[in-house]
Amino acid sequence: MPPWRPLKRRELIAGLCRLGFVGPYSGGKHQFMVRGDIVLTIPNPHRAEIGLDLLRVVLREAGVTRREWESA
């Protein structure tokens, strides 16, 4: 994965796939991805990149550390 920086939604999904998540699947207002018992809501597409604050929240919910993210 690229260094810790803002990224596009497509990059977020690709990184999560490398970490073992499957999807994204359609559901309600947001898509989601699954890994084991974890169901992770994916942010809707933005015009801009996903910022570090939102990335940090998504990865915390996914149970992924920054180190794991950067080495994926």
The predicted pLDDT at position 2 comes to 60
pLDDT of residue 30 exceeding 80, the answer is yes
Give the span between the Cα atoms of 3 and 46, in whole angstroms: 20
pLDDT of residue 24 exceeding 90, the answer is yes
Over range 42-50, report the average pLDDT: 85
pLDDT interval class at 1 (50, 70, 90):
low
Give rounded-to-5 percent helix, strand, coil for the chain.
40, 20, 45
Can you give the pTM of this predicted structure? 0.89
Full set of structural domains in the chain with CATH: 9-71 (3.30.920.30)
pLDDT of residue 38 exceeding 80, the answer is yes
Give the span between the Cα atoms of 6 and 25, in whole angstroms: 23
Burial of residue 46, with CB atoms counted within 10 A of its CB: 0-12 exposed, 13-18 middle, 19 or more buried: exposed
